[in-house]
Amino acid sequence: MMEPEHPSDGRPVDMYLDLLRVRMDSDDYRLLLQVVAPALRALDEQPPESMDFSLDPDDTQSLPQEIRDEAALVIATAVTGRLDNKLVELEIDETGPVRVVTDAATASDPDRLAEIASYIRRRHQDTEELRGIAEASGLPTDF
């Protein structure tokens, strides 16, 4: 088994990583640590409220979905300090399924999940509008 890259000091994320180390195959756990290590280092260096976290699709595309899901949950635990985070999949017409991490109460509340889906739709529409403006202006559209 591989030890975490940083010492455990009783933080929820360290406890969660310890649970995953016991539960996961050693190779999968190593892959998970490779994915989350940069985010955990960044969180150690600056407060989470000034950062936006998401897994880079280019870096994680070849990873099994289970590892990507666990990576999202590890980062959420590090940011929120909570162990009750849940990963939910929302069906968004414009983009297809979107996986988001939220607290357990929100994950079980259909109205809140509908609000989150609506927010994601609005963000997608805003992004597409900005992409169209950038394209018409001759600016890069890969944002």
What integer is the mean pLDDT of 73-84? 93
What integer is the mean pLDDT of 59-81? 89
pLDDT tens by residue, 94-115: 889 999 999 999 999 999 999 9
Residue with tokens 């994950």: 107
How far from 135 is each of 76, 82, 132, 139, 140, CA to CA, in Å? 34, 42, 5, 6, 7
The dihedrals phi and psi of 101, each to the nearest 5 degrees, come to -105, 135
Taking 60 as the threshold, does the pLDDT of residue 5 lie above it? no
Buried b (16+ CB within 10 A) or exposed e, 71-107: bbbbbbbbbbeeeebeeeebebeeeeebebbbeeebb
pLDDT tens by residue, 23-68: 999 999 999 999 999 989 988 887 766 555 556 556 667 789 999 9
